Structure 1
Amino acid sequence: MKKLSLFQTTIGKKLLMALTGILFCFFLLVHLLNNLTLFLGPDSFNALVSSLEYIKPLIRVLEVLLLIILVTHIYNAFFLSYKSKSSRPSGYSSQIKDSSTISSKTMLISGVTILLFLVVHLGTFWRIFQSVDDHSIYYDIVTKNNIVGFGNPLIAVLYMAASIFIGMHLKHGFESSFKTFGISNVRTKNIINKVAILFWFVVPFGFFVISAWFGIIKGLL
């Protein structure tokens, strides 16, 4: 029988999914910190986006790495979901009490929703930013464009909804990651749980606030 490598096994795939998920969380944190400069006004946000042009080769490398991380995460998620369902005996779900949370029950749904949102995001903001020559209009594209930007309240609502799904997905994702990495020490778990709040609550909430403020609230003031 052919010997399987670690990452071909179920536990290996769980480790990969947990690791890639955590890496993507750090990207979201950095992405949020960049986007928070919107509150500093047009000059600060435009200057930040323009400064990225000076490290464009590095940005491209990071984008490729992010794509690899994302594809690896998605592949292992679908593989493990399929294997879990196919290995359950008939009538399994009706024989045990369901104590799972909403976030755990909707992991696949939230994951697919986030993926679709990411496609939309890349097809709008990211694509437009790649073709812009005038570095003074980045801020207006995000906050005032009435087709793909927050000048369109429907876009703002879409981003707010996506933020909620991201929070739900990350909450259960972190809880599962702790189990995957075998973290059982109570003190360690408590510390990590507190740090995890930054990723599954604070970061998505930050994106939610940005969308709500520039897409809806600011226009009502």
Structure 2
Amino acid sequence: MNFTAGYLQSSVGKKLIMAISGIILIGFILGHLIGNLQVFSGPEKFNNYAKFLQSLGGLLWVARIFLLGTLLAHIISAVALTKENKAARPIGYQNENTNVASWSSRTMVISGMVIAAFVIYHLLHFTIVVADPELIPLKDNHDIFSMVVIGFQKPIVAASYIVAVGLLCFHLNHAIFSVFQTLGINSSSMDKKIKLFSTALSTLIFLGYASIPVSILLNIVKPQGGM
């Protein structure tokens, strides 16, 4: 027990926590995207998907709590590692590589915090429905399709969503590569392929998520009744 606790509190342990929690979160991001893309299948299929999730009842809340715990573990480990790296860095020692590394580290933490803030807003907007009272009747009528469409018809909401997804994918582009490094699945011959995979996957995720508000703003996807 003491060995396990000590290992998890070490830099290597924290990196492992970040890698494992990151894999879980990436899995959720992909699954959530597949579900959200059903908006292009029309109101009936999308609302049936939403009803299926609600029918899970307690299991859905167990999944939400598990994901929240995973996200917190990811954030706490990231902040702790950043502090350790700053404390270990020699004062006054600077070169091109350390500047690049510190810039990358800072932007990863900042983008991660912004993403976490957006996740909270996203939950308040579409799950708890307190950010936009106009959507409450639609939720009560289980018309989640129209709720999503009307929500994204507001340009500022759609734009903030696209920007947040862009930050998420910037974060993922670096994070996916880091997961391979942490798990020891890398080499000089593999690094280029892993970076290409990271960029391709994060770009596809961005295009998938961004396509929803963009299609709504362009009036390609409309709420029920063509409002």
Displacement of 1:54 in angstroms is: 2.0
Aligned counterpart, 2:95: 95
Q: Distance in 2 between matches of 1:175 and 1:127?
A: 34
Asked if structure 1 preserves the Cα contact closer than 8 Å seen for 2:170 and 2:202, the reply is: yes
The alpha-carbon distance between structure 1 residues 186 and 86, as it changes in their structure 2 partners (threshold 3 A), is: closer
Aligned counterpart, 2:38: 37
Q: TM-score normalised to the size of structure 2?
A: 0.83
The one-letter code of the counterpart of 1:11 is V
Structure 2 unmatched ranges of 5 or more? 130-134, 223-227
Asked if structure 1 preserves the Cα contact closer than 8 Å seen for 2:38 and 2:45, the reply is: yes
Asked if structure 2 preserves the Cα contact closer than 8 Å seen for 1:24 and 1:69, the reply is: yes
Aligned counterpart, 2:147: 141
Aligned counterpart, 2:209: 207
Aligned counterpart, 2:77: 76
Mapping for residues 1-221 of structure 1, pairs under 5 Å: 5-92=6-93, 94-97=94-97, 98-100=99-101, 106-128=107-129, 132-135=139-142, 137-144=143-150, 149-185=151-187, 192-193=194-195, 195-197=197-199, 199-214=201-216, 216-218=217-219
The alpha-carbon distance between structure 1 residues 77 and 100, as it changes in their structure 2 partners (threshold 3 A), is: closer
Q: Distance in 1 between matches of 2:104 and 2:96?
A: 19
SS of residue matched to 1:5: helix
SS of residue matched to 1:173: helix
Larger CA deviation: 114-123 vs 176-185 = 176-185
Q: Any idea what the Cα deviations from partners look like across 1:107-158, whole Å, max 9, x if unmatched?
A: 11111110111111111111129993322x21111101xxxx1021100000
Larger CA deviation: 100-109 vs 57-66 = 100-109
The one-letter code of the counterpart of 1:95 is N
The alpha-carbon distance between structure 1 residues 173 and 156, as it changes in their structure 2 partners (threshold 3 A), is: same
Sequence identity percentage? 32
Q: Distance in 2 between matches of 1:187 and 1:56?
A: 47
Q: Any idea what the Cα deviations from partners look like across 1:73-113, whole Å, max 9, x if unmatched?
A: 01001000111112111112x33444459765511111111
The alpha-carbon distance between structure 1 residues 130 and 141, as it changes in their structure 2 partners (threshold 3 A), is: closer
The one-letter code of the counterpart of 1:140 is S
The alpha-carbon distance between structure 1 residues 105 and 75, as it changes in their structure 2 partners (threshold 3 A), is: closer
Q: Distance in 2 between matches of 1:49 and 1:78?
A: 35
The alpha-carbon distance between structure 1 residues 62 and 195, as it changes in their structure 2 partners (threshold 3 A), is: farther
Larger CA deviation: 160-169 vs 53-62 = 53-62
Q: Any idea what the Cα deviations from partners look like across 1:37-92, whole Å, max 9, x if unmatched?
A: 11111111111101222212211111111011001001001000111112111112
SS of residue matched to 1:124: helix
The one-letter code of the counterpart of 2:146 is D
Q: TM-score normalised to the size of structure 1?
A: 0.85
RMSD across aligned positions (CA)? 2.8
Structure 1 unmatched ranges of 5 or more? none
The one-letter code of the counterpart of 1:59 is L
The one-letter code of the counterpart of 1:161 is V
